[in-house]
């Protein structure tokens, strides 16, 4: 079974600064995907960024980037130039690329990020 661990229940950052959220995972699979989801107070689940395990290059999406260390099974999220709208719960998630019939996600417990003005 896969597990996802987010060791930081809460974090805070000043507006315009950079913050890094940690995520580690455990799996015996070699072909998988990793994701970061954002959940603002509206409860929507918003995909922030995704990383395919077979890709060595770290994914980036505007102000969001990841540091993917496959050997260490680490997948951290860096948010640059933090904005007030980044205040949300952030979930790290794992999915096996089985090519099969469904796409089950395993989530971490989340990190509540607060961006302070």
Partner 1 sequence: NAGVTQTPKFQVLKTGQSMTLQCAQDMNHNSMYWYRQDPGMGLRLIYYSASEGTTDKGEVPNGYNVSRLNKREFSLRLESAAPSQTSVYFCASSDRIRGFSNQPQHFGDGTRLSIL
Interface segment toward partner 1; rule CB under 8 A; list 17-25, 63-71, 75-83, 96-104: 96-104
State yes or no: residue 11 binds partner 1 (CB under 8 A). Answer: no
Q: Are strands 106-107 and 88-96 parallel, antiparallel or unpaired?
A: antiparallel
Instruction: Report the DSSP pairing between strands 46-52 and 32-39.
Output: antiparallel
Between residues 80 and 106, which has the closer beta carbon with respect to partner 1? 106
Cα–Cα distances (Å) from 68 to 35, 75, 81, 94, in that order, read 11, 5, 20, 13
Instruction: Tell whether residue 95 is a contact of partner 1 (CB under 8 A).
Output: yes
Nearer to partner 1 by Cβ, of 18 and 44: the residue is: 44
Is 108 one of the binding residues for partner 1 (CB under 8 A)?
A: yes
With CB under 8 A, what is the number of residues at the site for partner 1? 23
Q: Which stretch binds partner 1 (CB under 8 A): 23-31, 52-60, 76-84, 94-102?
A: 94-102
Interface positions with partner 1 (CB under 8 A) = 4, 6, 9, 33, 35, 42-45, 47, 50, 91, 95, 100-105, 107-110
């Amino acid at each position: 079974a896969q597990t996802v661990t987010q060791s930081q229940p809460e974090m805070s950052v000043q507006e315009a600064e950079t913050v890094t959220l940690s995520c580690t995972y455990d799996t015996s699979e070699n072909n998988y995907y990793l994701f970061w989801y954002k959940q603002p107070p509206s409860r929507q689940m918003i995909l922030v960024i995704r990383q395919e395990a077979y890709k060595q290059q770290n994914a980036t999406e505007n102000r969001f980037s990841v540091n993917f260390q496959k050997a260490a099974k680490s997948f951290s999220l860096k948010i640059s130039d933090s904005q007030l709208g980044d205040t949300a719960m952030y979930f790290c998630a794992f999915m096996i690329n089985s090519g099969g019939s469904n796409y089950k996600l395993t989530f971490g417990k989340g990190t509540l990020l607060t961006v302070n003005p």
